[in-house]
Amino acid sequence: MNRIKKIYLHPLPVRIWHWINAVSFIVLIVTGLQIRYREILGLMNFRTAVDVHNFFGFILIFNFFLWLVFYIVTGKIRIYLPPLNFRKFITGCVKQARYYGYGIFMGDPNPHHATPDNKFNPMQQMAYLAIMLLLIPLQMITGLFLWDMKLFADWINLAGGIKIVDTVHVFLFLFFTSFIFVHVYLATLGHTVTAHIKAMVTGYEEMEEERGH
């Protein structure tokens, strides 16, 4: 029988960042929906929704830089960077995709074993690299532009107009909304349903240690 081992996967700053991020995302999505669909939703008035959205938008921006500084200073940023060996990366992606699409149903072991230095499987690496270094910054920038169109008028002009900026912001909002469902579901795929979630609270990930490993 596999033994359970605990590894310290998520340092405290990362956990704080994650949960601030999580709360911000939820609030931003809800208030974003309220702003966009005022005639359908009646959770709060428009002004409150905008104010709360702006507040949490800035929290998210601040939090992002907290994350960025922490990961750069500690050098942990490399866990987001795929290996230089492209073939190995692609093979890893395929293996991981095969696991989620087939192996997980057949009871095959997860091909990726998270360690503090190699936390993400190749698919996560690819997804989080795009999210953290491309999509969230883009969402923050477009959000900033929408927050004060006069102040960022020249940048908005450079981006092709406010309508394009808004479309990008809304598209990413929809993407993040749908991603959260997948993200939460994937968080339940630890050795127990709550293993990954607990890890993000305590920092310690419980995982089965297969005999022979």
> What is the contact surface with other proteins in residues (CB under 8 A)?
1, 35-39, 45-47, 50-51, 100, 104-107, 146, 148-150, 157, 160-164, 166-167, 170-171, 174-175, 177-182, 184-185
Q: Which is nearer to other proteins, 16 or 189 (CB)?
A: 189
What's CA 55's distance to the chain center, in Å? 20
Q: Which is nearer to other proteins, 14 or 135 (CB)?
A: 135
In the complex, the smallest distance separating the C-beta of residue 196 from other proteins, rounded to whole angstroms, is 14
In the complex, the smallest distance separating the C-beta of residue 71 from other proteins, rounded to whole angstroms, is 26
Q: Could you tell me if 93 and 122 are in contact, meaning their C-beta atoms sit under 8 angstroms apart?
A: yes
Q: Which is nearer to other proteins, 35 or 133 (CB)?
A: 35
Q: Which is nearer to other proteins, 90 or 153 (CB)?
A: 153
Q: Which is nearer to other proteins, 81 or 164 (CB)?
A: 164
Q: Distance between CA atoms of 59 and 137, rounded to whole angstroms?
A: 13
In the complex, the smallest distance separating the C-beta of residue 180 from other proteins, rounded to whole angstroms, is 7
CA distances from 148 to 142, 162, 170 (A): 10, 11, 16
CA 30, 36, 38: angle at the middle one, nearest 5?
Answer: 90
Q: Distance between CA atoms of 80 and 72, rounded to whole angstroms?
A: 11
204-209 and 3-8: which strand pairing?
antiparallel
In the complex, the smallest distance separating the C-beta of residue 172 from other proteins, rounded to whole angstroms, is 11
Question: Which helix (DSSP H) or strand (DSSP E) does residue 77 occupy?
Answer: none
In the complex, the smallest distance separating the C-beta of residue 154 from other proteins, rounded to whole angstroms, is 11
